Each structure stands twice: as C-alpha cells, then as structure tokens.
Chain A
Amino acid sequence: MSLALPAFLCLASGFLLVCLGWSRRGLIVSDYLLRTSLSVGLGLGIFSVVFFLSLLLRVTHLILVDGAVFALLFVACFLLRARATAANAVPQIKENPDQPAWLDRFLTAAFAITLCAALYAAVMRTLAYPHGDGWDAFSIWNLHARFLFRGGANWRDGFTPLLPWSHPDYPLLLPAAVAHFWSYLGHDSPAVPAVIGFLFTFCAVGLLFAALSILRGRMPALLGATALCATPSFIEQGTAQYADVPLSFFLLASIALLCLHDDREQAGYSNNDRTNDDCKHNAPSLCSPGLLVLSGLAAACAAWTKNEGLLFLCAIVLARLIILIRREVSPKNWIARVLHIAPLLVAIVPALLFIAFFKHSIAPPGDILSGHNTMLHKLLDPARYWAIIKWYFKGFFRFGRWLLIPGTLVLTGFYFAAGKQEHAKPQNGIRTSVLALALTLAGYFAVYLITPYDIYWHLRFSLTRLLLQLWPSAIFLFFLSVKCGNACGEHSRVADLP
C-alpha cells in the first residue's frame, strides 16, 4: 500500500502534463491509450527531476513537493480546460472497406498471441532476475539509484572518478525515479526498477499501437505492435533493467508526437479559435503548440535517460531546422520558419541547461572523449570505418534476435509487397523523424570511430542495443510510410463530446 500514493502521484502528474499539451477530446480508445502510455513515461520523468532537485536543494519532505507539483499541474489543467472545445475532437481514420473481415480477426489474434507471449516472457524474466539481467543493471543503473537513495547528504559520493566503470556521467532519469519510489518505501526494493522496466516495455507497445492507430488506422497499428512484441531482445532488454528500452520509449514518444502535430497541421485540424485555412496557410507550429512542447519534453526525457538521448535531442532539433528551412531562399522566411520550432525548444532548452549543470557540476568527464589525443588518428583510419560498416550491416540482420527471419527483412519484404503510402507528399513530421534517426545513427557511427575502447569489443557489446533503441521508432515510421490497409490515412471526425 505504501507504493500506492507515489504511484498515483507519478501517473497523475504525467497524465496532467499530457493533458496540458494535448487538450483534445475524442471517443477513440487509442487516444486514451496514447495518453496513458505517455503519462507513465512523462510521470517517471517528473518524478526523476523532482527527486534530483530535492537532493540538490536538500528538501526532505518529498511528499510535499510531489503534492505541490500535482496541484500545480491540476490547476493549470483546470484553467486550460476551456481549450478542449468541440473543435478539438480527435479525428478518426477511415478503415478500408475492401479489407476482408477475417483478416482483421486474424491480425487481432496474432497480436493477442504475441502480446500474451511477450507478457509471459517479461513476467518470468522479471521474477527470475529481480536485480536485472546483466552487469549494467547492478553496476550502473541500480548502483546509481542506491547512491542517490542511501547516500543522504553525501549522495554525490556515487559520482566519483574512482568508479569510472559505473559511468558516473550517465544521466539520472532511471536512477532518480527509482530512488524516489524507494524513499517512499523506506528501503531499496528490487521490485521498483523491475516494475519500471516492465512498464516502459509495454508502454512503448501501447504508444506504438495508439499512435499508429490514430494516424493510419487499426491494421498498421496491429502489425506494428505485433512486430515490436515479437522482437525477443526488446522484451529481454526491457526487463533487464537497462536504460535502452526506456530510451527507445522516449524516442518513439518524441517522434510520434511530432508526427501527430504535423498530421493535424496537414489535415487542417487546429485547436483554439483558428480555422482550418489559418492552419494550412499560416505558421504551422502556431496551430497546436502543445503537441510540439510534449514532443520536446519527450526528447528532453530521452536526453536525461542516456547520453544517446542527448545525441537524439540534438539530431531532432537539427533535422527540424533543416526540414523547415530547406528550399527557402529568403533569409526573412528562414527566421519565420526557425520560430516555428519555438514550442519544441520550450521544453528542450531548460532540459539542456539542467543536463549541462549535471555534467558540469556533478558528474566527472565521460569516457568517450577521454582519448582526445588519438582521436584524429582514429578519424583518419579507413580500417575503423570499414569495421563499423561491416558491423552495422551485420547488426541490421542480427539485432532483435528474431527467429529464422530477421525483423528488418520482414519489414523490407512487407514494403516490397505492399508499396509506399499514397501521400501527396510525406508530412514534415515523417521527414524530420527519418532525418533525426539517420543523424542519430551517424552520431553512433562517429562515437565508434573515436571510442577509446577496443572498437570490436565496443561494437560487440553495444551495437545491437543501440539499434534496439531506434527500433520502435523505425517500426512507427515504417508503417506511417508504407501502404497498409487503410484509405490512405484519410481522416473522418468522430462525434464531438458535449
């Protein structure tokens, strides 16, 4: 029972934050599934930041701080409730009437079987490995959580350069969220990180299903969620208490919210008192900035989860800028376009300052840039490029641990069989997201080039996990782009709630 209150405060704060950014009402279940999935991730993000700030400011009464955050969000939601007018109803995708009914039943059954198998595997793995499965769980993430929880006033002891193997420069979303719950419990129960890992895994599935369902309809949502549940290493990593699956959740959340925003913009759905024409022809981000702010928050949470998230955060901002200002000749229009990413930056800039403070004032320098005197030599070594390309190629087929046929090949086969979505042109959100993922992959490549470790050792122990971080987002973007069952993503508006 002692966990019921913090669990409620965490989820409710997350839910209120999501409602602040997305004030639409709708009838479809996917809308609620999306909100709930996002609430878990963002709620844990809030809990993490609150705990870390409480340590910094030496606040001991956590319940008061949590209550104040909840009350603040509640009041803000109440005041902004008027925004949820009938004009903000969630549009529903028209399903393809030519699609045979048995196919829908078959795909639903396949998804149900895969989900049940994934749940069974996750529960059994959580019970079998309550302290996590693998060294990183107890040597990095849960160790940091113990330092934060047990350290009291001396919590900074855990971020000493004497323990370089524990990567004290890694961000603290997971450790601080875990320590927050432990503070309520009064002891460091291994059940807390286990449940958090479990939640992130299945909220990523829920988020993928919901976002695809809203944007493309039921069939792509079923196929996408089935593919993610059927990826053995995704379920294994999710319950291993590593940070890769939580990171993959936040990358997917950021990309899905960005695509939802741009989809509304392209479809002419706006909020507040703007007309559809306003939305189509005026500054895009002014139409529904809440979704962009939430997208930025998710990217910020990714950066607070792992250093790779920081890379993604820079990549998505850069990608958005490139997509918005491309083909613009006039510098005057550049400025107007750049201003469109302001809502995204509202969440990102404070998060960057927060992470910069952690990196500068608390954490010792990271290991990746430690070999700076040999960096140029490594950058000029063609053998290193060739080694990484070979491992990327192998990783493309191997990661995910699919049985017999790699998941990437299954997607490729489906693409050639189904073809490309019949869009007039791909929306900016998809282009931005694809470019952001490509830039992130390029960033990983650069890190391998300059790594101070043996390159083969580093590739062997990390590449499949890095690819797994991008996997849910890749599935999401794949089913946004491929032709798949629905009537080309056409929207029909559901009846507005009174």
Chain B
Amino acid sequence: MSLPRIGQPRMTIASVAFALCCLLSTARLAIDAPTPSSLKTSNREIARRSDQRFSALKAALPERGVVGYIGEPGTPALADYYLTQYALAPLVIDHSSNHALVVGNFPASPALSAPLDDLHLVKDFGDGVLLFAPEDAK
C-alpha cells in the first residue's frame, strides 16, 4: 500500500478550485451565446447587406476588371464598402470615382440619385444601390 504523498490535499484543492474557476467562466459562454429566437434576424445580416442587395447590380456589371465606388462618409460606412467588394468579387471595387463605371452605395439615404462629383446616374437599382458613369462618358 502506498503512503499518501505530502502535498496531495493541496493538489486536490488546487485542482478543484481550478475547475470551479473554469466552470464560472463557462457561464459567460452560455449566457453570451445567441439565443434560438435571435437567429432569424442575425444570420441574414451580412447576406442582406451584400449578396442580396447587389444581386441586380452584379448582373449589370462586367464579370472582371475594376470599377469605382462612392458611398456615405465616415468609418461606419467602410463596412458597406467592404460588403460591396465581398458581394461583387471577383470584380475589384476601387474606392474612387475615377473609373468608367462607379458603384454608388447609399444604404442610409436610398433616395439619393443626384449627380455627384461629375458623375451621371446610369441606373438606380433601389435600396440605395446605384450605378454611375463619368459625365464625359455620356
């Protein structure tokens, strides 16, 4: 029969305390997890803001190449630009209006269709998605 080693109770207490701290943290995982009721709205957000929004525009654009982009100002609107690129890849979307075709993305002000920066509206696809071309390309 082996004798209990010195420090064994200390090890046991340490192991139990360690596991309890882990279980405590596990509570955060469970609490912060999305609930089944929230799934319906959250899981369509990216698709709604990218693929679905730009599906009509995508059909009107060339399959390859580079097109320009104009959108709302400010850092939060950067996500809209990134989502435009995500939806329209492999077309490259350059954040500039110096291109033969320029995508307009104005999700917060969908009615905007006035000429911008020497651009004229080619087509309004609705929901703030517009296609512009330079005035001199008329």
Contact = CB atoms under 8 A, between A and B. Distances in A.
A163 B85 contact: yes
- How big is the A interface, by class? 35 or more
Interface in B81-114: 82-83, 85-86, 89-90, 92-94
A127 B39 contact: yes
B19 A157 contact: no
Interface residues of B, number: 51
B26 A230 contact: yes
The binding surface of chain B is classed by DSSP as helix
A131 interface: yes
Nearest to A139: B82
B28 A402 contact: yes
Contacts of B28: 232, 401-403
A65 interface: no
Nearest to A123: B33
B8 to A, nearest CB: 5
Given A120-B33, A128-B38, A485-B15, A407 B50 contact: no
A223 B47 contact: no
Interface in A89-134: 96-100, 103, 106-107, 110, 113-114, 117-118, 120-121, 124-125, 127-132
A147 interface: yes
The binding surface of chain A is classed by DSSP as helix
A114 B43 contact: no
Contacts of B79: 135
A223 B94 contact: no
A271 interface: no
B7 A98 contact: no
A405 interface: yes
A155 B23 CA distance: 47
Given A404-B24, A418-B10, A158 B19 contact: no
Nearest to A402: B25
B64 A223 contact: no
A103 B24 contact: no
Contacts of B60: none
Given A121-B29, A139-B86, A154-B90, A110 B23 contact: yes
B90 A146 contact: yes
Contacts of B26: 113-114, 117-118, 229-230
Interface string A136-178: 0011001100110011101101101011011000000000000
A483 interface: yes
B138 interface: no
Interface string B4-45: 110110111111111111111111111011111011001100
Given A131-B46, A138-B86, A150-B89, A98 B2 contact: yes
A107 B19 contact: yes
Given A162-B92, A418-B11, A121 B33 contact: yes
B89 A410 contact: no
B2, B12, B17, B89 pick with most chain A CB within 10 angstroms:
B89
30 contacts: A98-B4, A110-B20, A110-B23, A113-B26, A114-B23, A117-B29, A117-B30, A120-B33, A124-B34, A124-B35, A125-B33, A129-B43, A130-B46, A130-B47, A150-B89, A150-B90, A155-B90, A160-B66, A165-B82, A166-B85, A227-B18, A232-B25, A232-B28, A232-B29, A402-B25, A403-B25, A410-B21, A410-B22, A413-B17, A485-B11
